[in-house]
């Protein structure tokens, strides 16, 4: 006789996984300028790097790195366009410490370099 315990356990596990991903996403948004490498974040949340990657693929349909880069780029474009920040300010505030890396990521994401916004 199946009493639904297996299904309930599975639902609870899925909820816990989803909650963990949401916690990581919140941490990323609150610490966007910090080093958020998969190894550092996985340690903070007591996960292996492969578990972190697996959870992001499962719930976000993309890799942790891709999610992080998209989040950083969204932050950078918001700072430049809505807050009027200079490109270097937006770059550092979004977690990039290298202008070349930032420019490449920006152009890849938006199709044009951040200098497009220079006045």
The CATH number of whichever domain residue 31 belongs to comes to 1.10.10.60
- For residues 43, 44, 49 and 50, what is the CA-based torsion angle, rounded to 10 degrees? 120
Structural domain including 61 reads 5-117
Q: What's the pLDDT score for residue 118?
A: 65
Q: Of 39, 58, 59, 40, which is closest to residue 49 (Cα–Cα)?
A: 39
Phi-psi region of 100 (alpha: psi -120 to 50; beta: other; left: phi over 0): alpha
| pTM recorded for the entire structure | 0.87
Number of domains in the chain: 1
Share of the chain above pLDDT 90, in %: 84
Residue 1 has pLDDT above 60, yes or no: no
Tokens, residue 111: 């199709």
């Amino acid at each position: 006789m199946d009493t639904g315990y297996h299904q309930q356990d599975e639902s609870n596990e899925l909820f816990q996984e989803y909650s963990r991903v949401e916690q990581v996403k919140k941490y990323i948004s609150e610490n966007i300028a910090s080093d958020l490498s998969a190894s550092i974040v996985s340690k903070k949340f007591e996960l292996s790097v492969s578990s972190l990657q697996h959870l992001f693929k499962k719930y976000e349909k993309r890799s942790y790195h891709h999610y992080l880069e998209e989040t950083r780029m969204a932050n950078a474009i918001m700072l430049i366009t809505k807050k009027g920040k200079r490109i270097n300010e937006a770059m550092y505030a979004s977690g990039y410490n290298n202008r070349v890396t930032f420019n490449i990521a920006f152009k890849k994401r938006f199709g044009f370099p951040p200098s497009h916004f220079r006045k």
